[in-house]
Amino acid sequence: METIIKKIDAENMTSGDFKDAAALLRDGKLVAFPTETVYGLGGDAFDPTASARIYAAKGRPSDNPLIVHIADIDELKKLCREVPDEAYLLADKFWPGPLTMIMKKADCIPKETTGGLDTVAIRMPSHPIARRLIQETGLPIAAPSANASGRPSTTKAEHVIEDLNGRIEMIIDGGSSDIGLESTIVDLTVKPVQILRPGFITIEMLKAVIPDIVYDKAVLKREKNDSVVARAPGMKYRHYAPKGELVIFEGEPDRVMDAILEASGKKLEEGYVVGILASEEFAGDYVAGISKKWPVLGTGNSSGREPYALIEVVGSRDNEETIAANLFDKLRDFDAKEIPYIFGECFPGDNLGAAIMNRLVKAAGYHIEKV
């Protein structure tokens, strides 16, 4: 099928911009759209065939439930069998925004949408294009991240085109997602309330509303052989992964830098191209260290044909929001150059760092070298 790419300017949009997208969604077809977290792959949440199409387009296992997106708090009563008080307290503080809440589902939500579960995940996004699309369609929109299953989530329309062109009816291009990591997911069906996926809304922020909230054990999992099973079905799959082998190094920043230089040198010596996922603070040191002996792409001493290092700056250690915003984009850059070995720094795991490390550890398939 031919995928229509539709540019919309959030600062200057009209109903007419959404006419075709809304008609497609009402007809059970799929439309990818920007949200403040990542791009979503939308379909009518009430339509089991639309959900089946979403799973097929992504190549996603059908036991992995979708998040239902709404634009009006009154929808909660319609979509959930029970709405606990905490839901309204959290919505009051964090909606519209990057928070997803799990509650018992009402009968109007088909099991195809919830991967067979009796619960449903609901989020009210803040991105103006996402909100307007939901309003103009007049339906709750089921939307997982708009990436091929297993790959890093998409934060730009170009990423969605890479993964889903020809597989869905339309992609709305609304520029880059601000946050860059998927929403925080909380499960309100258990006591104490649990965080199933960390995101921009941190545990500290949530504790201000629900003091006894805790992480699901799987969120903090660092060892591949640890037998804890994720309660969000999607978190158990290999995820966010670049095609190359990613190893992350944990320890004192200086030792991490030395270890990354050593690991890179070894692979370059063997004739491989390597990638380094670097913080702004260390990027210059990697360039200096590598270029003593090897070419670094983009610095003028590499033709891109010999073993070289590609150093991607993911953000500043002093500003985690920049790291969150760039992480998936940078992982995709390594793929675009088919880099077989990628070495990356670890970041402190509190606040937004918890979400960053959760994605990084999964992207690395739990391959963490302690130095």
Dihedral, CA of residue 122, residue 197, residue 237 and residue 84, to nearest 10: -40
- For every residue of 226-238, DSSP letters joined together read -----SSGGGGS-
- Does residue 143 contact residue 40 with C-beta atoms inside 8 Å? yes
- Strand-pair partners of 44: 141
Q: Which of 8, 43, 44, 64 binds ligand TXA (CB under 6 A)?
A: 64
Q: Which of 79, 120, 213, 219 binds ligand TXA (CB under 6 A)?
A: 120
Phi-psi map region of 365: left, alpha, beta (phi>0 left; psi -120 to 50 alpha): left
For residues 162 and 285, which CB has a smaller minimum distance to ligand TXA in the complex?
Answer: 162
Minimum Å gap between C-beta 295 and Mg ion is 35
**DSSP one-letter code for 296:** B
Q: Which of 70, 76, 133, 185 binds ligand TXA (CB under 6 A)?
A: 185
Stretch that binds ligand TXA, among 80-88, 120-128, 293-301, 352-360 (CB under 6 A): 120-128
Taking alpha carbons only, the member of 144, 137, 139 closest to residue 115 is: 144
**Residue 326 binds ligand TXA (CB under 6 A):** no
38's contact among Mg ion, ligand TXA, none, with CB below 5 to 8 A by partner kind, is ligand TXA
For residues 22 and 232, which CB has a smaller minimum distance to Mg ion in the complex?
Answer: 232
For residues 40 and 295, which CB has a smaller minimum distance to Mg ion in the complex?
Answer: 40
User: 167: burial class by Cβ within 10 Å (0-12, 13-18, 19+)?
Assistant: middle
Taking alpha carbons only, the member of 36, 235, 67 closest to residue 144 is: 67
Who contacts 56 (Cβ-Cβ below 8 Å, separation ≥6)? none
User: Could you give the string, one character per residue 109-148, with x where binding to Mg ion holds by CB under 5 A and - elsewhere?
Assistant: ------------------------------------x---
* Ramachandran angles phi, psi of 311, nearest 5°: -105, 115
Taking alpha carbons only, the member of 147, 151, 169 closest to residue 160 is: 147
Q: Which of 18, 44, 51, 65 binds ligand TXA (CB under 6 A)?
A: 65
User: Could you give the string, one character per residue 296-325, with x where binding to ligand TXA holds by CB under 6 A and - elsewhere?
Assistant: ------------------------------
Stretch that binds ligand TXA, among 17-25, 70-78, 98-106, 282-290 (CB under 6 A): 98-106
Positions 231 through 260 that interact with ligand TXA (CB under 6 A):
232-235
- Does residue 188 contact residue 84 with C-beta atoms inside 8 Å? yes
**Residue 119 binds ligand TXA (CB under 6 A):** yes
Tokens of 215: 């992480």
Who contacts 292 (Cβ-Cβ below 8 Å, separation ≥6)? none
For residues 148 and 209, which CB has a smaller minimum distance to ligand TXA in the complex?
Answer: 148
Query: Which residues contribute to the site for Mg ion (CB under 5 A)?
Result: 145
Query: Which residues contribute to the site for ligand TXA (CB under 6 A)?
Result: 35, 37-38, 40, 64-67, 98, 100, 102, 114, 117, 119-121, 123, 125, 143-145, 182-183, 185, 196, 232-235
